[in-house]
Amino acid sequence: MGVKWYDFGAEQAELGSELSEAIARVLKNSQFIRGPEVRAFESEWAAYCGARHCVGLGNGLDSLHLSLRAAGIGVGDEVIVPAHTFVATWLAVTYAGATPVPVDVGIETFTMDPEKFRRAITPRTKAVIPVDLYGNPANVEEITEEAHRHDFIVVEDAAQAHGARVGARTVGSIADITAFSFYPIKNLGAYGDAGAITTNRSDLAERVSLLGNYGSEVKYDHRILGYNSRLDELQAAVLRVKLRQLDRWNGRRRERASRYLDGLAHLGLTLPSLTPPGHVWHVFPILHRRRDALQAYLESAGVPSIIHYPVPPHLLGAYAPLGFGPGAFPISERIAHEELSLPLSPFLSLEDQDEVLRSVAKWCSEA
């Protein structure tokens, strides 16, 4: 059958009756929107992150977009974003009516370079979105300190960093507001689209909640122009079950990442740098100048891989009007040309990981 990128069968077998009982509980209750499972998950996720508030939403993009809207970001404002990220980070800024201002990332961290962030600040800067990429937290504390010095907001994109830590603090409690995606293959994933924000600010939590429910707290009383973006009961029930396993599953990810770092050393690949223990290894990224040839070989050997991400947002057609050409952000462009993510999940068996290691080593020896 070959190596699986993510083994949902193994995940469901591990969760056992808890998962089916949670789904049955929702079906029996027959309240599918804004019910007890969502309220319970919001409370549990806020507590896990060390934040005062959590608001469940429809997906990760909505979590970013509505965070910006809640902070009053709009037309004429600038929002600093990393040049290397999934396009959703930029789309959230565009949907809010603001302008994304990209800065390059660090080649060792893949996250926003704090010094380049400082140089990008202008009088029109109203927010910054540091992205915790591949499970590695961005330098959120330093970025937040600088942002607050200039009196603008930090919206952390933690779609790939569930359970990650910066020192003694958990991602979700550091920035002004943190946006999460619970897409199925995330470290904490639902069985469909789902998202949430966490924050310590009551005003932001209340505003996001209003925005996500048509601008209404009481039915038919629409205080503001809102959207339809709500975490549903079935997804909340699934997330509650899986949240109880998150730390254990992240521990397995770290173990698998350590085996990759040991097994792939001295093969001519650029590997992730040794990182603080707060990294949760959503994926395992490697760099090689002949990335496409390596990926083709792995596919022929039954080993899946994914490129995160082959075209940086500033070179996408959707963002051509911003006027950035090739060479504008050289580190991000190098990553786009060389990055390849190898299989890494809590359910990757040691035997399958050894197969990945053998296949990569064989290609490197012949390349």
Mean pLDDT, 10 residues at a time, over the chain (367 residues)? Answer: 92 96 96 95 98 98 98 98 98 98 95 97 98 96 97 98 95 98 98 98 98 94 95 98 98 96 96 83 97 98 97 98 97 98 97 98 93
* In a shared domain, residues 82 and 190: yes
Element (H, E) at 240: helix 233-243
Element (H, E) at 199: strand 195-199
Q: For residue 312, is it within any domain?
A: yes
Domain boundary among 243, 267, 294: 243
Q: For the sheet containing 125-128, what is the strand order?
A: 53-57, 195-199, 177-181, 153-157, 125-128, 78-82, 99-103
Q: For residue 183, is it within any domain?
A: yes
DSSP 65: H
**Of 172, 170, 194, the residue nearest 183 (C-alpha):** 194
CATH classification of the domain holding 70: 3.40.640.10
The residue range of the domain holding 149 is: 8-243
At 207, is the secondary structure helix, strand, or coil?
A: helix
* In a shared domain, residues 193 and 282: no
* In a shared domain, residues 185 and 312: no
**Of 304, 354, 359, the residue nearest 6 (C-alpha):** 304
* In a shared domain, residues 85 and 177: yes
* In a shared domain, residues 132 and 210: yes
* In a shared domain, residues 236 and 270: no
Q: For residue 236, is it within any domain?
A: yes
| Residues 217/17, Cβ–Cβ less than 8 Å | no
DSSP 228: B
* In a shared domain, residues 214 and 186: yes
* In a shared domain, residues 276 and 214: no
**pLDDT for 31:** 92
* In a shared domain, residues 51 and 88: yes
* In a shared domain, residues 357 and 226: no
Q: For residue 2, is it within any domain?
A: no
Domain boundary among 175, 210, 243: 243
**pLDDT for 1:** 64
* In a shared domain, residues 260 and 231: no
Q: For residue 82, is it within any domain?
A: yes
Q: For residue 1, is it within any domain?
A: no
Q: For residue 3, is it within any domain?
A: no
Q: For residue 45, is it within any domain?
A: yes
